[in-house]
Structure 1
Amino acid sequence: MLSAKKILKCLDDDWPVLEALANRSQLYSFSFQDVQALFTRYFPQLSSEQVFREAQKLLAQDILIPQAKSSQLELNRSVLEFIQFLTQEHNLGTVGDIQSRIDELDRLRARLDGAVRQKDVHEMRRFVRLMDERVREVVKHFRKNESAILHLVDKAKADDSNMSLARRYAAVMEAFDEYIEPVLQMIDINGPFQHSIETLEHCLSDLVQFIEDTGFMSGDKEPLVQLRTRLLDMNQIGRESLTRSTDVLMPLREELRKNTLISRNASLVLATLRKQGFEPIMEQLAAKFSSDHQKFSLGSANQITSYMAELVDYQDDNYQLPDAVDSQPGANIRVPDLQDVLKSARTQKSNTDLSKWLAHSYPQLPVDELLFLYQELSRAPALKLEHQDDVSEMEVNGFRLRLHPFVTRHSDRT
């Protein structure tokens, strides 16, 4: 069994070693010799016998435990989580962790209502205490996930490897898709999170009002007020944490989007060069000083003299690579300017589905660019859009999209 005093003392005495082992434990195991090497690195004043005793002490106190059927070691899970909490380097949780606590709050609220009707004081206090613990856990998850996202962003920016930008930002984009987007849907004004918070707040307010009117359980009024305040703070903390996380992730997402667009256009140019070659593309722009027949014939003295005289006054023009060689439309990907799209969208009539209008107006646009414009326009206050409850399905460039459409309000016809 772990001894709290001994663990705290080891953390204080051997913190550099344990911190290094915690970082390594996320991906790899380690051997007893690796632990000794870390003691030698961080505590060079220790002798070899002292290094062995220090490493053996971690084993004896169950801070280091052997893996099953292996000579490799790992940190005790409780110690690892405590070190990660102290260093704020948490693994990103899932939206299910938060949603399960909200579902538990709904269940406890129903039990609290039953205890109030039966005037069971003991059960009422127990359910209030359990709800207070669940609220604290939700706040902890919000803050932990925000810290994990900041750590992912810093790690992606500091990565100086030669990997592509998409691979460097893979974990960051996964955090946006697997955490930010689901939580945004969950805490939406019509989402289950907001509904549960409002229902629980009304329940606590009614109970506080009942205590004030009747004087029943007057000594338990303060915990109820504190729980209601903490519940409202949880809602605000979650929204602020999500806003900060989104503000950190969006620049990297935009950088990756632009890099992807550049890569696509570069791939199209290279594909054209491979198919047609470099000379057929450049021969339209190359300066011609002689005909094809003259290239393979000897000139006379007069021709050479005349040719050299013309070179004296020759001025070279600035030739540029063509924007598009292929005459077929859509050979090059051109993303419209966001402000131009916004101006066009403002001229649309009421009841216009924003997603269908974008797909009809820009049929050659890639799906990710179309969704980017859809996301930006849906937030534009100038359009005055309202979010529909019905799900709309549409197919764009081979992709099937399911969206809650944004539609212009009836009173905002232009």
Structure 2
Amino acid sequence: MIEPKRVLRALAEHWSLLEPLCEHFDQGTLSLIELRKQLALQLGDGSPTDVTALLDQWIRLDILVPVAKSPNRFELNAQIHDFLAYLRREHRLGLCLEIEAYLRHLERLAGHILDAFEVRDAHDLARQLRLLDMRVRDVLKKLANDEQALVAVAERAKTSERQIPLRQRYAEVLATWDEYVEPMIQLVAADGAFEQGVHRVEQVLLQLLGEQQRLGQLVDDDLLLRTHARILEMQGTAQLTLRRARELLLPLREEARRHNAVTRGAAMALAAIRRKGLDAVPQAALPLFSRPQSNFLGSASQVEAYVYALARFEAKPSRFPKASGKRSNEPGRAPRSAREMLERCEQALPLPDLMLWLLQQEPDGATDELLYWFSRLSRDSRFRRERLQRRDYLTREHQLSLSSYALAGQP
């Protein structure tokens, strides 16, 4: 086993030599001759013996590893490469499938947590909760890395040479959008796998908290609450990362697509004009090549008529309704108070479907008002709720699709 201190000491001592080599290793492997040449250039006065001793030390410490089936070619150890990339603040964009794999693992861990709680195994329960917390931190770290990598993609597209065609300059942007952002949009959507998986894991933790209060503690509640808070942080971070990606890459993507369409259309129009003259251009496109008449000053007779009409302009008097006039619409009834709605709901308990009951109580109610009372009543602590299957509800103005609740009184 290689002693970590020796590896860290070698990295610190030879950082000035390793950092330039990282750029070469980012592009591929290096042969032994190429390595010796690069090190000889950097060492300057170093002898071939010094170069050989340095390479031998790096190989013994596993900083350099031979490429499979090519013993004369070397590459940086993958872990060392990642560590150096972190020190150099380099970020490589991962795959959306990695987040999906993490999510499936979180769901499996949630199942193991439930199994451990059912058999009252406190040790296994604490271990599974720690694993869940560590996996969530891995997801947070990956999302932070992906966000920085997206920033780097946008910066490279904006700062590349202007002589390069736009399609080539933005090729990485277009590929990143298709391979990362689009799948992330589907994954983090309201009905996507990410939201559903997070909801299932969150429900397991909340159920565990409730069962511990009823049956007694197996693990500290702080561990459950901390893991639950980290789950919510992961959910918010994923949405923020996606929003950041869209803000960075969507304008560049649209610019590339729009520029391509305009360039292609202009080239076709110019080719037609060169072959057949201006008559070959469709009449609908002619305003693009001419200035509208409205931008020019009119003739002398038009100006004279305009001034004549302006001098004799008379404003029409405004007509206001009479004070004694009666309104055609009757005043609406006063809005119901929260106390009144809570009392009516308590009297109607048990409610098999809260949203259906609200529609029966307020058949002509506005959609936003119905949704307000649905949220207000379903979250009240005096009711015990149970989520129902998603279904459609018809209000006076809209068709709603939501998962309602069955309400019952607290025992």
TM-score between the two structures when normalised by the length of structure 2: 0.64
Pairwise mapping of residues 285-304 of structure 1 onto structure 2 (< 5 A)? none
CA–CA separation in structure 1 for the residues paired with 2:62 and 2:141 = 27
Pairwise mapping of residues 65-214 of structure 1 onto structure 2 (< 5 A)? 65-67=65-67, 68-160=69-161, 162-214=163-215
What amino acid is the match of 2:282? Answer: S
Distance 1:411 1:24, change over 3 A: farther
Deviations 1:213-235 (A, max 9, x none): 44322x52221111111111111
Give the counterpart of 1:411 among 392, 397, 403: 397
Give the corresponding residue for 1:263.
Answer: 263
Quote how far apart the aligned CAs of 1:260 are: 1.2
Distance 1:17 1:162, change over 3 A: farther
Give the corresponding residue for 2:242.
Answer: 242
**Residues 273, 280 of structure 2: 8 Å contact kept:** no
CA–CA separation in structure 1 for the residues paired with 2:45 and 2:119 = 69
Distance 1:273 1:55, change over 3 A: farther
Give the corresponding residue for 1:216.
Answer: 217
What amino acid is the match of 1:59? Answer: I
Equivalent residue of 2:282, what SS?
A: coil
**Residues 167, 256 of structure 2: 8 Å contact kept:** yes
CA–CA separation in structure 2 for the residues paired with 1:333 and 1:179 = 38
Equivalent residue of 1:201, what SS?
A: helix
Give the corresponding residue for 1:326.
Answer: 281
CA–CA separation in structure 2 for the residues paired with 1:159 and 1:17 = 28
CA–CA separation in structure 2 for the residues paired with 1:45 and 1:256 = 50
Deviations 1:79-129 (A, max 9, x none): 112222333323321111001111111122122222222212222122212
Quote how far apart the aligned CAs of 1:74 are: 1.1
Q: Which moved more, 1:180-189 or 1:123-132?
A: 123-132
Give the corresponding residue for 1:15.
Answer: 15
**Residues 32, 73 of structure 1: 8 Å contact kept:** yes
Pair 1:26-2:26 in alignment: yes
What amino acid is the match of 1:411? Answer: E
| Same amino acid, percent of matched pairs | 28
CA–CA separation in structure 2 for the residues paired with 1:333 and 1:113 = 68
Distance 1:197 1:234, change over 3 A: same
Runs of 4+ in 1 over 6 A off after TM superposition: 330-334
Distance 1:410 1:91, change over 3 A: farther
CA–CA separation in structure 1 for the residues paired with 2:169 and 2:396 = 46
CA–CA separation in structure 1 for the residues paired with 2:23 and 2:286 = 48
**Residues 115, 121 of structure 1: 8 Å contact kept:** yes
Give the corresponding residue for 2:338.
Answer: none
**Residues 63, 76 of structure 2: 8 Å contact kept:** yes
CA–CA separation in structure 2 for the residues paired with 1:180 and 1:256 = 16
CA–CA separation in structure 2 for the residues paired with 1:83 and 1:207 = 41
Q: Which moved more, 1:251-260 or 1:96-105?
A: 251-260
What amino acid is the match of 2:175? Answer: E
CA–CA separation in structure 1 for the residues paired with 2:146 and 2:245 = 9
Name the Cα RMSD after superposition: 3.0
CA–CA separation in structure 2 for the residues paired with 1:133 and 1:102 = 13
CA–CA separation in structure 1 for the residues paired with 2:80 and 2:110 = 34
5+ residue gaps, structure 1, are 282-323, 335-383, 385-408
**Residues 32, 55 of structure 1: 8 Å contact kept:** no
CA–CA separation in structure 1 for the residues paired with 2:26 and 2:286 = 46
CA–CA separation in structure 2 for the residues paired with 1:228 and 1:332 = 61
CA–CA separation in structure 2 for the residues paired with 1:261 and 1:204 = 52
CA–CA separation in structure 2 for the residues paired with 1:54 and 1:127 = 45
**Residues 268, 332 of structure 1: 8 Å contact kept:** no
What amino acid is the match of 2:57? Answer: K
Give the corresponding residue for 1:253.
Answer: 253
CA–CA separation in structure 2 for the residues paired with 1:265 and 1:333 = 12
Give the corresponding residue for 2:230.
Answer: 230
Quote how far apart the aligned CAs of 1:332 are: 11
CA–CA separation in structure 2 for the residues paired with 1:332 and 1:183 = 42
CA–CA separation in structure 1 for the residues paired with 2:240 and 2:136 = 16
Equivalent residue of 1:66, what SS?
A: strand
Distance 1:268 1:411, change over 3 A: farther
Quote how far apart the aligned CAs of 1:54 are: 2.2
CA–CA separation in structure 1 for the residues paired with 2:117 and 2:124 = 9
Give the corresponding residue for 2:392.
Answer: none
Quote how far apart the aligned CAs of 1:40 are: 4.3
Equivalent residue of 1:163, what SS?
A: coil
What amino acid is the match of 1:327? Answer: P
Quote how far apart the aligned CAs of 1:28 are: 2.2
**Residues 21, 75 of structure 1: 8 Å contact kept:** no
Give the corresponding residue for 1:50.
Answer: 50
What amino acid is the match of 2:397? Answer: S
CA–CA separation in structure 2 for the residues paired with 1:251 and 1:227 = 37
Equivalent residue of 2:210, what SS?
A: helix
**Residues 88, 147 of structure 1: 8 Å contact kept:** no
Deviations 1:111-163 (A, max 9, x none): 22222222122221222122112211211221121122222222222322743
5+ residue gaps, structure 2, are 290-367, 369-394, 399-411
CA–CA separation in structure 2 for the residues paired with 1:16 and 1:60 = 19
